[in-house]
Structure formats: C-alpha cells, structure tokens
A and B are shown apart, each in its own frame.
Chain A
Amino acid sequence: MKFLRYLVPMGIFLGLLGFLFVGLSLDPREVPSPLIGKPAPAFELSRLDDPAQTVGREDLLGKVWMLNVWASWCAPCREEHPLVIDIAKRKLVPVYGLNYKDQTRAALGWLANLGDPYTATLVDADGRVGIDFGVYGVPETFIIDGQGIIRFKHTGPLTPDIVRTRIEPLLKELQGAG
C-alpha cells in the first residue's frame, strides 16, 4: 500500500492534464458567441462620479455605443487605455465604462491619472452585470447598436489593429445605417 502513496503526485498531474486538455479547446478570447446578435442584457447601474444617478439599457437605445469593461487593478487595461481615449477623442462612438469589481476610490484615481474617455462609467462592484455580459476577464469591449443588440465583442486589450480593421468599419456600417 505504500506504493500507492507515491502515485499521488501522478494522480494530481493527470487531473491537471485533463483540465489543460479541455482548456486547449476553449478560447478565452472567444465570445461565448451566443451573445453576439442578441440583445444586450438589461442593467441599471449607478454612475461612478455620481452614485445617485443611474444609467440603464433603455437609456442608451437609439444610438450606437461602446462598452469598455475595466478595473483599476487590471494591467492590460492600462495598456489599451490610450486607444480608448483616442476613440473618444475622435468621437467615433460614445464610450461607456463598466468598472468591474473595483473600489470606487481606486477607480476614480485611475481615471484622474490616465484620463477619462468615458461618457459615463457605470459601477459593477459585485460583477453581476459583468456575468450577464459574459465577461471573462478585464478588459473587454462590446459594441451595441441602436436597437440594443450586441454586435461586437473583444476580450483582452484593444490593439490599434483591431480598432482600425474591426471596430472602425463596424461603426461606419452601423452609424451609416442608423
């Protein structure tokens, strides 16, 4: 029976291997795609700068908007932030922030430091809305059209390439149609 004890490491390793194998067939950057082409989930969240005011899904109907999920503890968010600022500055689309599982003070400091490109930042302190949106990790970016339908999702930091080749054409198409 002593022999069995020495098989424990092997058992642990095989278990881990199983998970890694399954993980290989999953793509974390991929949307749980059912959401694309479906209406954005309903939400009603208070604003970071003024908790008394709330913004909901209904308020944003009728225009194309972008939802950028971020948190002050998130390293890649800083990396993509200049691009978000750039998008807002060029007035490509109104950008709404979803401050995900964060502390208000840290989040406000972050925006003060790095610049605030958001038309409004919505507070999702417990991550509920994030779950509804299928947020896998921060940062994530969604584009929602005038009918409230999710048209685009990107997991991970934006890159100049994605903005140029995917976001800009999509916005042109959506805004041209609307």
Chain B
Amino acid sequence: MIPEIGHFALWLAVGVTLLLGTLPLVGAHRGRTDLMALARPATQVLLGLIVFSYGCLILSFVNNDFSVLNVASHSNSQLPLMYRIAATWGSHEGSLMLWLLMQAGWAWAVATFSKSLPLPVLSRILAVMGLLTLSFLLFVLFTSNPFDRIFPIPADGRDLNPQLQDPGMIFHPPMLYMGYVGMSVAFAFAVAALIGGNLDVMWARWMRPWTTVAWAFLTFGIALGSWWAYYELGWGGWWFWDAVENASFMPWLVATALIHSLAVTEKRGSFKSWTVLLAITGYSLALLGTFLVRSGVITSVHSFAADPKRGAFILVMLAITVAAALALYAWRAPKVGLGARFSSVSRESMLLANNVLFIVATAAVMLGTLYPLILDALGLGKISVGPPYFNAVYVPIMAVLVFFMGLGPMARWKNDSVPALAVRLRWAAGVTVVSAALTAWIGGQITLGSVVGLLMAYWILYTVLAELWERVRPAGGVQANVLHRLSQLPRATVGMMVAHVGVAVFVFGVTMVGTYDIERDVAMAPGDSTTVSGYTFTYQGTQPVRGPNYEAMRGHLVVTRGGVQVSEMFPEKRVYKVQRNPMTEAAIDSRIHGDLYVQLGEPVAGDKWLVRIWVKPFVAWIWGGCLLMGLGGIWAVTDRRYRVRATREAPTQAGGASVAR
C-alpha cells in the first residue's frame, strides 16, 4: 500500500501545481489579492505532499519491499540502513524524486523567507516555480515512476552499486541537487520580473541572496563529488571532464557569472537584461545537463540507465521551458533600459570582463561536451574529446579571469584609470612575482604550468590583501582604528574576499598537486619498506576482513618520517557479495601539506602484494578552496543590507523574518 499512497500523493501534487502555476499569475495580472494570496499556502501544501511521497519511497527502501522495482534494482536486505536511505536517490527515478523534493523545498523557502517581497512579485515567482515543479512531476509520473511494482517478487534485491556505498553518496547528491535546483529560483525571479516588468535595483537585491546561496550549494556539491571521486575511484585524480561533471560545471560557471553581474545590477542598475539572460541560462543549463545525463545521448561514467523515451520527454520540457523564457525575454527585455553609464576602465568594465570570460569558459566546456554529439548529428563521423582539449582551452581562460579578479575589486565604480590602478597594485604585483618564484624554487621543479599557477594563486591572495589594507588603513595615523574598521567591514565584502581567497587556495592546490605529485609502484612482502619523498612506508602484511555485505583483504602499512611513526594505513580490496565486482578502497592520510595515498594492487608471488603509493602535496587545498568559496558566499548573504531591508519593509512581521534570513 505504501508505494501506491506515495504515487497518489504525486498526482495530488500535480493538481496543486496546476493551481499554483495559474491562479496567482492571473491574480497578479488582474490585481486580485485573493488569487495571489493562494500562492503561499499552495506552496506549503506542495512541499507537504512531496515530502510525504518521498517518505513513502524511503519507507519502501527501509522495509526492503522488493515488490517495488526501484527497490529491487537498487537495494538489498544486507545493505546497511543509511545506504538503503541513500539508495532512494541512487537510481534515475529516485534522483528525480530528490529533484522534486528540492524544487518544492526551494519554493517553500522563497514563500517563507521573502516576506519583504511585494505580493504580486512573490505570486509570480511562486507560480513560475510551481510550473517548473509541474513539468518534473509529469516527467516522473509518465516516464520514471519510482513506485512501479514487479511480479514475481524477487527474494532479494540486486544491491546498490558498490561504488555508491560510500558516505559520499549520502552527501554529494543532495548538496548538488540543492544547488542545481536552486538555479530555478533565479530563473523564477527573472521570468517573474519579465512578466511584471519591474526590473529594478530592488529586484536585484531580492534575488541576490537566493542566487548566492544556490551557487554556494552548487560549489559544495561539485567539490564533494570531486573529493568523492578522488578517494573512491582510487587513482588519485580529482576532475575528469566527464560529461556529467561538465553538466554540473556549466551551471556553476553561469551562476558565478550571474552573482557578479547581479552585483552591478544592484549597485549601479546596469547589466539588467544581461543579468536576466544569465539567470535564464543557468537553469537552462541545469536542464540541459539533466537531458544529457538521462537520455544517453552522451556516454559517461555516471550515466543512469538511458532511455530515449525519457530523453524525448526532457527535450520537450527543455524546449518549452527555455523557449518560453527566451521568448518572454525577447519581448520584454528591450524595454528594460540600460542603467548607469560607465567608462572602459571601471569596476563595471572589470565585471563585464569577468562575465564575458565565464561565458566563454561555459561555451568551451559545452563545446567539448557536445562536440561528439554535434559531429555525429551532422554525419561527420564519431569522435571523442578528452581532457587534452579541456585543459588546453580552459587553463588560459582561467588565467585571464584570475588577472581581472585581482583588478576588479580594486577598481572604482563608474570610472577609474589604468595608471591609478597600477600604482595601487604595484606592491601586490611585485610580491606576487617574488612569492611565486620562491615557491617554485623551493619546490625544486619549475615548469610553465607551475609558474603560471603559482602566479595566479599569489596574485589573488595579494590583491585581496591590498584591498583589505586600503579599506582599513589607519587614517591620520591612528592605529587603533584599524581593528575597529576591520570589524566594521560589511559582511558582503568580507564574504567576497573569503571566496576570492578560496579561489587562490584552490589554484594553489591544483598547481602543487599537478606539478609535484609523486607516484610509486612496488611489490612488497611483509617487512619490506620503500621511501617516497621522505616518508618510509613499511608493509606489514595483508589480512582477510569481513564487512556487512562484502569480504575484503586488508593491507597494513606503517609510515615513518625521520624514524618517527606518522601514520598507519589500511588499504582494502573488497568483493561485494551481491554484485561480485572487486573494489579497491584506498587508504588516505590527509594532511594540510599533502596526502599520503596508498592502494592495494594485485597479489604477486607468495605473500607479496603490489602496492601503489602516492604523495600528493597540498591536494586537500583543492577542496578546501571550494569550501572557502562557498562559505564566503554564505557569509555575504548574511550582510546587513539584506536583513535591514527585510525589517524596514515589513514592520508588521516583527523580527521573525529578518532573523530567519
């Protein structure tokens, strides 16, 4: 019964989204408060229904109800409980349920935390989100029902793919979807503004925190995925330019462009139609990514079971959603106006450069991802584009981007001059060159890539410091003022600085691990040892161990440095009972200055095993940098001006809304 009830709740949700997607729009158009007032409660009911339906799905997994096809294909009675819950989003059908949950959750959050929004604006936004939810509901119900039954009922399930039985599976998909679907909020704000014709500074200010939060989640989600791939796939790589990774990366690039262009729209009223276009593009790319992943038009490591029928459905969804938004854009945007003028050297022009570069980067990634498809469609043969393409195209774009990233925050709004900027940044530039040279020299290996990477990392760091210094510099020689002014810095500014330093940390990690990574393969008998960049690894032997649903051989290595034991490592080779494929579980000892990464290879002769050892300097900085970027974004959202606005404009709703924001 439980699956049928869950299924039924989804149909009820269809009814709710039909109401939510139409009545408030009509209400906003005709100025009828009663219809507009429906939007908020409808959103609440929608979330309730979808949470309920999702709960039914979870219950089916937890109860090992193998009469449900989805459970039988992706779970097993021996699967630990937390993975049975995580397995709800381990399938195509289940991941769409997660999408729906997030979609309804975001709509609810907008309804709850946007008390300062005028009712017509809020109604339009929620209506658009309702329509987006509707399209996904129909997709689930018509092509991907997670509650389908099977007969005869299998005795046990086929188990979750062993590679997914990892904590990464618990956190990565929800985070990523949170960000992915969060792009729909920006989309809804943009479409609502086009409908209502109220594209102004206030609109940008309302939209900005939502976009930034979605962007932060997307950042966390992608970083988690990358970290997961790093330790789970067991060969030390952290980004593979896989079609599915690209599918999440393209919306991220556009979202990054969007949060920067929103800054201009909010502060100066410029870039308005551009900002709207970016908001539409971000969500469109999230949809495009979904299409690529689910339809099987592109081969990928991550791909879900592909089904052309689903592909056709998403394509129609994509076509309707995006075409409607772009048509609205073509109709309404010309009336938006241009906003304040600015000179060719100014904060605006720097941010424009930022936007152009991000779009070029997105186009480059998109081209690489779709190239095989396009050539195939044109009948020009079947080809593949590997990381060689992406690295060659991507790195130069990022280098230029980082250069502007240093200049941008220092440049003044409206008008600045190159000589003035050069004077203000001369110290940062000098120290950057010296630091990069020193680091490369200490590292002992100088390549073009390492020098460029280090220059980029230090350039960001020192320009942020230079900006910080300009803002808190003791005026009139009063030293005590420095700390006071430091504490008075707006959170938005601090958030931006933290995020930018995050980029520096990220670039530093990528550069160091790309240049100084050491990899060693040794056949070891118990008692043998080998030394890799100062660390001595002594192999103690291998023992069989038993997990809840797998059997494994576990190696034991003791790591010493200068005679002192620094770590014990236990790499494993597992065989999962149901699917029988072997899995290597690397042992990783993560430190701030680098990771030790040990993997058990094959048994050689006798009790000798092939052991693979990596020393990866500063690799953790890659994800640390992403974490800083996301946290910087979240910190910026807590800025006073977003809260002040909320309380001032909604004096009746005392405190509650503003605290929640």
Interface residues of A (CB under 8 A from B): 2-3, 5-7, 9-10, 13-14, 16-17, 19-29, 32, 71, 73-76, 78-79, 82, 85, 101, 109, 112-115, 131, 134-138, 155-157, 160
Stretch with Cβ within 8 A of A (4 or more), from B71-79, B295-303, B418-426 = B295-303
- Inter-subunit contact A26/B323 (CB<8 Å): no
Minimum CB–CB distance for A145 against chain B, Å:
24
Query: Which interface residue of A22, A113, A115, A156 has the most chain B CB atoms within 10 A?
Result: A113
Minimum CB–CB distance for B329 against chain A, Å:
6
Identify which of residues 305-363 in chain B touch chain A, using a CB-to-CB cut-off of 8 Å. Answer: 308, 311-312, 315, 318-319, 322-323, 326-327, 329-330, 333-334
Minimum CB–CB distance for B519 against chain A, Å:
7
A155 is contacted by which of B281, B299, B333, B610 (Cβ under 8 Å)?
Answer: B299
Identify which of residues 246-294 in chain B touch chain A, using a CB-to-CB cut-off of 8 Å. Answer: 273, 277, 280-281, 284, 288, 291
Minimum CB–CB distance for A124 against chain B, Å:
13
Q: How many A-B residue pairs have CB under 8 A?
A: 128
Q: How far is the CA of A28 from the CA of B297 in the complex (A)?
A: 6
Name the CB-closest residue of B to A136.
B382
- Inter-subunit contact A71/B295 (CB<8 Å): no
Is there a chain A Cβ closer than 8 Å to B580's Cβ?
yes
- Inter-subunit contact B582/A82 (CB<8 Å): yes
Given contacts A13-B284, A160-B579, contact A28 B388 (CB under 8 A): no
Minimum CB–CB distance for B582 against chain A, Å:
6
| Chain B residues positioned under 8 Å from A109 (CB to CB) | 519
| Chain A residues positioned under 8 Å from B38 (CB to CB) | none
Name the CB-closest residue of B to A76.
B301
Name the CB-closest residue of B to A22.
B377
- Inter-subunit contact B582/A13 (CB<8 Å): no
A113 is contacted by which of B295, B373, B612 (Cβ under 8 Å)?
Answer: B612
Dominant secondary structure of chain A at its interface with chain B: helix
- Inter-subunit contact B295/A136 (CB<8 Å): no
- Inter-subunit contact A20/B612 (CB<8 Å): no
Interface size on B, residues (CB 8 A): 56
- Inter-subunit contact A115/B601 (CB<8 Å): yes
- Inter-subunit contact A10/B323 (CB<8 Å): yes
Q: How far is the CA of A127 from the CA of B544 in the complex (A)?
A: 44
- Inter-subunit contact B521/A24 (CB<8 Å): no
16 other A-B residue contacts (CB within 8 Å) besides A6-B329, A28-B297, A28-B299? A17-B318, A22-B377, A23-B374, A23-B376, A24-B308, A24-B312, A27-B296, A28-B296, A29-B299, A73-B386, A73-B388, A76-B299, A76-B300, A79-B301, A137-B382, A160-B579
| Chain B residues positioned under 8 Å from A113 (CB to CB) | 235, 519, 521, 612
Is there a chain A Cβ closer than 8 Å to B447's Cβ?
no
- Inter-subunit contact A160/B327 (CB<8 Å): no
- Inter-subunit contact A6/B333 (CB<8 Å): yes
- Inter-subunit contact B373/A136 (CB<8 Å): no
| Chain B residues positioned under 8 Å from A135 (CB to CB) | 382, 384
Given contacts A75-B242, A113-B519, A136-B372, contact A6 B273 (CB under 8 A): yes
Minimum CB–CB distance for B132 against chain A, Å:
17
Minimum CB–CB distance for A49 against chain B, Å:
16
Query: Beta-carbon contacts of B594-605 to A below 8 Å, as 1s and 0s?
Result: 000000011000
Question: What are 5 sample pairs from A and B whose C-beta atoms fall under 8 A apart?
Answer: A19-B373, A75-B233, A79-B301, A136-B372, A137-B372
